[in-house]
Amino acid sequence: MQTVSKETPLAEITLRKYEKPYGLTERELIKKLCLSLGLLQPGDSRDILVDILLVLIKSSKELDSKEIEALAIESRKNNNLELKGIASSNIRRQLKRLKDIFILESINNKYRITEKEKLSNIFKEKIEKYYINSILERVKEYITAVDNIK
C-alpha cells in the first residue's frame, strides 16, 4: 500500500518587504510588522491583531485574554478605529496565531512576549533560525527529489 501525503502544510510563513520604518506611529509600526510577517493581509480592515500585539509589547506584566481584549478595545477607541474583530473568540484566535509563530507564550492562561525577549531576538532565534530554516530544508529536500527525476 502506497502512503499518500497530505497537502496540508506542516508549517508556513509569509514574508513581505515594505519601505523602511521611518516616521510611523507605534500602531502603524506594529501594523507594518504584522503585514511583513504575513499575520495581516494588505487591505485587511479587521486588524485587531495590531492592537493585541501593541498591548502585549507595552505591558510590563502577563495578561489574560480578558485583559488583552479590554486593552485592545481601549486602544482601538483611542485611535478612533471601528470595533471590528473584538469578539472574545477572535481575540483568542489571534493570540494563538501569535503563539504559533513564537512571538507569544502563555503561562497559567496569561500571555506575554516570549521569554520577555525583544522581538528582534525572538525573530532571529525562533523564527529565522528554527522556523524558516526548517521550511527551507524541506523545500530543498523536494528540490533534490525533483532533480533526481529522469
Task: Tell me, yes or no, whether 123 lies in a domain.
Answer: yes
Q: Are residues 44 and 60 in the same domain?
A: yes
13 in any annotated domain: no
DSSP character string of 105-140: EEETTEEEEGGG--HHHHIIIIIIIIIIHHHHHHHH
Domain span holding position 38: 26-115
Whether residue 44 is found in the same domain as residue 111: yes
- How many separate domains does the chain show? 2
Pair 59, 132 in one domain: no
Position 14 in a domain: no
Q: Which pLDDT score, from 0 to 100, does residue 31 have?
A: 96
Distance of CA 106 to the CA centre of its chain: 14
Answer yes or no: do 35 and 109 share one domain.
yes
| Same-domain check for residues 34 and 107 | yes
**59 lies in a domain?**
yes
pLDDT in tens, 140-150: 999 999 999 98
Please report, for the domain that includes residue 56, its CATH number.
1.10.10.10
Say yes or no: 75 and 140 in one domain. no
Q: Which residues face 113 on adjacent strands?
A: 104
The CA distance from 66 to 142, in Å, is: 44
The SS3 assignment for 104 reads strand
Same domain? 60 vs 121: no
pLDDT of 1 reads: 63
pLDDT value at residue 33: 96
> Can you say how many angstroms the Cα of residue 79 is from the centroid of all Cα atoms in its chain?
21
Q: What is the pTM of this model?
A: 0.87
Q: What is the pLDDT of residue 43?
A: 87
Same-domain check for residues 108 and 129: no
42 plus 53 within the same structural domain: yes
Is 20 a domain residue?
A: no
Local confidence pLDDT in tens for the 150 residues of the chain: 666 667 888 888 899 999 999 999 999 999 999 999 999 999 887 899 999 999 999 999 999 999 999 999 999 999 999 998 899 999 999 999 999 999 999 999 999 999 999 999 999 999 999 999 999 999 999 999 999 998
The answer to whether residue 150 is domain-embedded is yes
| pLDDT recorded at residue 134 | 94
CB 63, CB 113: distance < 8 Å: no
End-to-end CA distance of the chain: 24
